[in-house]
Each structure stands twice: as structure tokens, then as C-alpha cells.
Amino acid sequence: MGFKQYLKSYRVQIILATFIVFITAFFLTNTHKMILYVANPPNIKNILGGKEIINKFLSINTLKVLLMYLIYGIVVSMFFKDKTSTFFTENEDKKLALYFTKYLAVITSTTIGLFLVFLVKLIVYKKGFYFFNTLGNVGQDSVFMFFFIQLSFALFGCSVVFSANMFFKENLLAVLFPLFFLEVIVLLLGATTIFISEKLVFLKYILSFINAGLVDKLIINTTHDYRIESLPITIQVMIGIVIILFSVLLLLLGYLVYLKVRKDKINENYYFNLVSSIVYISTRVTISYLIAFTISSVLTIFFKGISIEDGKLMFNAILLISTAFFVAFKYYIPKLILDQEVA
């Protein structure tokens, strides 16, 4: 079966996915409000300025980016209903065509959906040129950059979920685990830095250094409503290209993993033992964090003899011990018992 035949087999999913992306993006990017803004123009004193127009009509905030990611996850999942029946059971010579045509079908639907939203915005911009350009000082290039940035986000989101499906049987897990893993990283490198005891100077310094370069910027950008579309166009183009390059790398990585999936593993929740270990450790680290925070906080609050510094040190110790316990309970204790039984 060639590329055209594969794409034809996805035509129902493409139409439905295009509709889902269009409707979601239409409302999340305030296209309906943009139409109303032109249809019922405000008083001259309430005319929006350039940055306000971009923030309201030609960009989306971090929360909406996450919502669009979930939509892209749903779209990708629609194309993976054949995961255990045909996708992982095809012959080696057919895997290349099957993998990339499936991704092409996903990108076709998301691109068309976003392009339709872009067309609506462009038409509305032309209709309300006086309000957007003359009074708002927003050029037509901002509308095109809106489409380019949103398309780069879509490519990245689809690539993340698409590649994650090469590790997990459940589509929902493939959508949510990347977000959960990001949360664990933010938790460990971000919030944990606050609770590191001053007695652990070296560890606090390392985590603070990583935190300042990665997590702090992520949190600051979120709280200050940072928008890529507000940057100069050349920087926007560079950021978009970098995002697209990462998307391509993720897609190629997913393909290499796809070739490694064994047929006897396709009915298991995790296609690789390493993935199972990562999921287990990530969830247990989160649980350990909650245990350590709860115990240390309660003891510090209700026992006057325990200082804040003692509470921090207690948090560090409990987090380390509970995490080590969970890992040992999963991997070392069963093996030790089995070795004793064999002996």
C-alpha cells in the first residue's frame, strides 16, 4: 500500500480531526471576539493598542498552549486505533510508509484546521484594517506570524504525543505522561530548591543554578503572560524554526524506537522495561515529595523546638529515604528474596 492509499484510509479521521482543531483553535485564540471587535467597534477611547491586539487575538497564553497540546493529543490518538492490530504488526518493509503517512495524516488535519483559523483572522484583519493597523499599529505580518508560531507548536505537540505512542500502549498515557514528566522535573528542580537545607550547600548551589536557567524562566514566563508573538519577527522566526527542528528530531527518534518494538510486547502497557522503570520512579518521586513535605511541614508547625532549618533538613532526609525505599521495594527486595529462595 502506497502513501496515497494510506492517506485515503485516514480520510474520515482527517476530516474529524480538522474540525476538532479548527473549532478549538477558533475559540481559544479569541477569533470570535476578533470578529465582534470589528463588527461592533468600541469607542475610540477603548481601542486596543498593538500589544493588546496581539495578546487578545493573535497569540495564546501558556494555559491555552497546554489545552491545545491536549487537543493535539486527542487528534494523534484518533489515528492510533490500529496500534495493536496492524501498526506494530506490519512487516519491516511497510513500517516506513505506515509510520510517516500516519504522521502526515495527523499534520495534514492540524495544519488545515489552523490554516482555516488563520484565513478567518486574515479576512477579519482586512475588514478591520483601520482598527488593527491604523489605530492599533499591528501589521499584517503579525497575522502570518500567528499562523507560523501556532503551526510550530502544533508540529511539536503532535511529535511529542506521536513519539510517546512508541513507548506506551494506552493512548491516554502517551498524551499525559510527557506533561507529568515535565511536572516532576519542575517539582524537583524548582520547588525542591526552596526546601534544601543550608547545610547542604553544594546540592543547593547546583539545584539553584539549574533552577535559575530553566525552571525560573518557565515560571516567570507563565506568571507574566509571556507571548512569543510579541517579540521581533526575526526572533519569532528563529524560535519557530528551532521548535520545528526539535519536532523533526522527536519524530525521527520515535521512528527508531518504532523499529525496536517487539511484537510480543505490543499487548503490554509499556513496550520497554526502561519506560516502565521511568514511570515507576517518576510517580514514586512525586509520592515521596508529598510525604516528605507533609511530615516536615506538620512537625515544623506544631513543634516549637523544630526550627525551619531543621524542617528543611528533615524534608531532604525523608525525601531521600522514601524514594530509596520505593526503588528498593520494586527492584532490589524481590530480587533478594528470589535469590534466597533459590539458595
**301-317 burial by CB neighbour count: b if 16+ within 10 A, else e?**
eeeeeeeeebbbbbbbe
Listed in sequence order, the residues at least 6 apart from 74 whose beta carbon sits closer than 8 Å to its beta carbon are 20, 175
Q: Helix/strand/coil (H, E, C) string of 248-303? A: HHHHHHHHHHHHHCCHHHCCCCECCHHHHHHHHHHHHHHHHHHHHHHHHHHHHHHC
- Is 141 domain-assigned? yes
Residue 39 pLDDT level (bands cut at 50, 70, 90): confident
Q: How many CB atoms lie within 10 A of CB 260?
A: 10
- CA 295 – CA 275 distance, rounded (Å): 30
Kindly report, residue by residue over 206-257, the tens digit of the pLDDT: 666 666 556 556 666 666 667 888 888 899 999 999 999 999 999 999 999 9
176 is written with which cell numbers?
499525559
- Is 62 domain-assigned? yes
Per cent of the chain over pLDDT 70 is 78
- Is 13 domain-assigned? yes
Give, in order, the Cα–Cα distances in Å from 326 to each of 59, 74, 164, 173, 226: 43, 33, 25, 22, 39
Q: DSSP letter for 322, please.
A: H
- Is 34 domain-assigned? yes
Q: How many CB atoms lie within 10 A of CB 196?
A: 20
Kindly report, residue by residue over 270-284, the tens digit of the pLDDT: 888 888 888 888 888
Phi then psi for residue 197, to 5 deg, are -65, 145
Phi then psi for residue 136, to 5 deg, are -90, -15
Instruction: Return the pLDDT at 338.
Output: 47
- Is 283 domain-assigned? no
Give, in order, the Cα–Cα distances in Å from 91 to each of 95, 97, 152, 166, 262: 7, 11, 32, 16, 12
User: SS3 of 33, please?
Assistant: helix
Q: DSSP letter for 168, please.
A: B
Per cent of the chain over pLDDT 90 is 31
310 is written with which cell numbers?
531543621
- Is 103 domain-assigned? yes
Whether 342 has a pLDDT exceeding 50, the answer reads no
- Is 29 domain-assigned? yes
- Is 276 domain-assigned? no
Instruction: Provide the residue range defining the domain that includes 25.
Output: 3-175+231-268
Whether 153 has a pLDDT exceeding 50, the answer reads yes
Q: Looking at the 3D structure of the chain, how many domains does it have?
A: 1
Q: Which is higher by pLDDT, 51 or 111?
A: 111
